[in-house]
Amino acid sequence: MQKNSERTLADGTRISDLINLETREVAMRTLSDPELYELEMERIFAKTWVFLGHETEIPKSGDFMIRDLGSDSVLVARDKDGVHVSLNVCPHRGMKISTLDCGNTPAHVCIYHGWAFKPNGDFIGAPVEKESMHGKLLSKEQLGLKKARVAIYGGLIFATWNIEGPSFEEFLGDAKWYFDTLWCRTDKGMEVLGPPQRFTIRANWKTACEQSASDGFHVLTLHRWLSEVGPYRKPGSEGGGGDLTPEMYGSEVYTAHAHTMRCIELDRKIRRLTGKDPSELSVKEKLEALPPPGVTQEMIPELLRNLSEDQLKIITWRPPQVGNFFPNGLFEFVYIPTPDGVVGVMALHAYVPKGPDKLEFVNWILAEKDTPPQLKATMLRLGVQLLGTSGMVEQDDSDTWPHQTIAAKGAMSKHITLKYQAMYETGKPEGWPGPGDVGDGFTKDDTQWRWWQYWHELMTAES
């Protein structure tokens, strides 16, 4: 009997034939194949926890917003009990329940035949109650919207259709130790500075997501302009432009479920700001010299209280600056040099699959709730200038992914491979206190390869 894991595509190719686990290569075809896309929606997006937004987007009871959980539209709504995620499809005849982007209502009434649902998805009733237009075969309890399982972590909303599957904490695994230094460092936590930017890219979701798993190399060339003009330019260096190479050093963390991050070294910045050798400074002194993005001097005692000594060591030495939540989330906590000093930018992206050749890029910009308004405004403006729709950095990314997607269809090119063969060879950096697999030094491919290993694991898993 054929095992599920050996499931083949229509032309006889096995999924495990698309990826060479020894040589760390992935067949290009994987980037655009419609059959694989359908399988990904079932085996990845219906199985893992998926990032949907931030709870500060819907602060009041009755607030709701419409998001995508894989290829399905979902209603994300708050009531007095918390945040609920339900399929945005009417169980009567399949009309979309809410056609709006967001709003506030105690009852979501389907405009087709009038069935009504609570923010938590429960069926309230149909018009003309006494005539029981929903019949008697099913109880009202059975006629609610299909409900997903929800987890709120550091204000982030995640959901899954895998009701009996692993807990959110299990899903995060070793990444949680690091993510806590980002999302759970202050007493009040974070907030979005507004709704997300959204735009369409004619590219497969994996082109964006394999990059999101901490592709360091691409910064050197695809984002080379950063060294030629603007904040990172260091006059007098080669070619009239600066060199981004120093930004490529640090640690890279990759965990079992393919959550990864680049922990870029701060030593040079701290040396420049203080004129002192960072090894002679205490954690507190380093935090005061260069507070993390969105953090002010007043908030530093909170960090010292909320994080462990080991976590504090990481965030003042090599803090996570960019990384991903598998399958389709990305975060950035970057330190941007400006004429007025270093300004932090914090952003989250979701790369929502919209078919084999299309994705929706969703970009949120965040700050700590306690970040002073003036600094929030600066962070927001800088975020808009560098990231998302018009971002001068991410324009280059969004123009690249469509080419990969088109190439993945060529009779020859679909068989060539994506290569992830630059490997860390020295293990964890000395004195690294954090969990997970950790590489030391110049960026490598291990984080992205981990992304594909987990993709492979899920795509060939016995369901």
Q: Choose which of 53, 121, 293, 388 interacts with other proteins (CB under 8 A).
A: 388
- Minimum CB separation from Fe ion for residue 393, in Å? 6
Taking every pair of Cα atoms in the chain, the longest distance, rounded to a whole number of angstroms, is 82
Among ligand FES, Fe ion, other proteins, none, residue 133 binds (CB under 5-8 Å by kind):
none
Cα separation values, 136 from 83, 123, 130, 401, Å: 30, 14, 12, 51
- Minimum CB separation from Fe ion for residue 8, in Å? 35
Residue 92 near ligand FES by CB under 6 A: yes
Backbone phi and psi for residue 119, each to the nearest 5 degrees, phi listed first: -55, -25
- Minimum CB separation from other proteins for residue 384, in Å? 4
Q: Choose which of 83, 85, 380, 459 interacts with other proteins (CB under 8 A).
A: 380
- Minimum CB separation from ligand FES for residue 108, in Å? 10
- Minimum CB separation from other proteins for residue 180, in Å? 26
Residue 224 near other proteins by CB under 8 A: yes
Per CB under 6 A, the segment of 64-72, 92-100, 239-247, 447-455 that binds ligand FES is 92-100
Residue 209 near other proteins by CB under 8 A: no
Q: Choose which of 7, 113, 224, 358 interacts with ligand FES (CB under 6 A).
A: 113
Site string for other proteins, 340-369 (x = CB under 8 A): --------------------x---xx----
Size of the site for other proteins (CB under 8 A): 50
Tell which positions 394-453 bind Fe ion, by CB under 5 A: 397
Among other proteins, ligand FES, Fe ion, none, residue 461 binds (CB under 5-8 Å by kind):
none
Residue 110 near ligand FES by CB under 6 A: yes
Among other proteins, Fe ion, ligand FES, none, residue 360 binds (CB under 5-8 Å by kind):
other proteins
Site string for ligand FES, 115-134 (x = CB under 6 A): x-------------------
Residue 174 near Fe ion by CB under 5 A: no
Residue 394 near other proteins by CB under 8 A: yes
Q: Which residues bind other proteins (CB under 8 A)?
A: 99-103, 192-203, 221-222, 224-225, 228-230, 241, 360, 364-365, 373-374, 376-377, 380-381, 384-385, 388-392, 394-396, 398-403
Q: Which residues bind ligand FES (CB under 6 A)?
A: 90, 92-93, 95, 110, 112-115
